[in-house]
Amino acid sequence: MTTFKINDRARWTTSRHPDFVPLVEEALHLAAPMAERYAAMTLPPKVTVDLLTPTAVREATREHGRLLGHRVAALFDHPDEQATAYRFTAGRLHSFAQAHRRIWPLVGGRTLLGTDGRYLAVMPAMHTARRTSLRALVQALGHELVHIMQLHRSPDLDDVFYAQHVEAGFGRREETTVRPLQQIAEGHAMWVHRQIVAELGGVDDDFPDDPLPNAWSRRRRRAVLGLQKTTRSEVYLPGLGFMNALAAVGGPELVASVFDSTEQLPTRAELTDPQQWLTREHNRLVGPAPATAR
């Protein structure tokens, strides 16, 4: 059974919601078995959860970029290549941290790399402090726990993903061969999320027990709704469609097998045509079908 260590580093927010920390702990224990069942994966024995302010999330994302940059750099031999790999990885994640200034009202959590390993960063101000009911937390945290399980199953996913981009920059691989990890990981988490939503009653974004949004909250959400729609269509939905196709054939176990190794991840072409991936997986397991005699 997984234990959760919760570090409250957002007391200016949680002090106004004294029940929030125990509510997060309750939600984690409710979400964990559902996420494991639908993902057909297991959580690590211990998961650290840090409650962060929006500013602290940006700082933590920059630290995540620095640490991951060093890991990606270690995959290359030449010092110049190592420097390029570090700059690319840290720079890309730094850009994401800057973008976080705009999207934080929509962010419930993130899986980050810290000095003590992977941890789940949760924003008590999630959805401008209006997503604080138990059901809302179970759904949001269940989604993030899927990312913890993905990286627990295949710890080098991030490293190889960024290394592939660097190799493409060096001309050693075609850009089209870089595995679309973000779409795959988010599509998978969204697939599990929707199973959890269905189990909880089939309501995705309507939580009667949440506090009523004030005028400031409504303005903040309206300001980023366009970005939310773009992110869903470009990141979440392509991977979700792929996962739906695999689940229809082999259930959660086949979906989970995508994360057995980097090579198991679909290519960009396979992401839009899941049958290509299913054929490749069939050939890997049993060999290609014999040629038909003429």
Task: Tell me the pLDDT tens digit for each residue of 63-105.
Answer: 999 999 999 999 999 999 999 999 999 988 877 766 666 665 6
| 78 vs 293, residue with greater confidence | 78
Mean pLDDT within 239-246: 94
Residue 265: pLDDT above 60?
A: yes
Quick one: pLDDT at residue 279? 94
Residue 180: pLDDT above 60?
A: yes
Q: How many CA atoms lie within 13 A of 105 on its CB side?
A: 17
Percent of the chain residues topping a pLDDT of 70: 78
Q: How far apart are CA 16 and CA 55, in angstroms?
A: 18
Quick one: pLDDT at residue 34? 97
- Asked if residues 245 and 274 have their Cβ atoms less than 8 Å apart, the reply is yes
Residue 17 — very low, low, confident or very high, per pLDDT cuts 50/70/90? confident
Mean pLDDT within 158-178: 91
Residue 210: pLDDT above 70?
A: no
Quick one: pLDDT at residue 62? 86
| 48 vs 292, residue with greater confidence | 48
Quick one: pLDDT at residue 36? 98
Percent of the chain residues topping a pLDDT of 90: 54
Mean pLDDT within 144-169: 93
Quick one: pLDDT at residue 128? 46
Helix or strand (DSSP H, E) at 109 = strand 109-114
Residue 10 — very low, low, confident or very high, per pLDDT cuts 50/70/90? confident
Helices marked H in the chain — which ranges?
11-14, 20-39, 54-73, 79-103, 126-129, 134-153, 157-169, 181-200, 215-231, 237-257, 268-272, 274-286
Quick one: pLDDT at residue 293? 44
Q: How far apart are CA 7 and CA 49, in angstroms?
A: 6
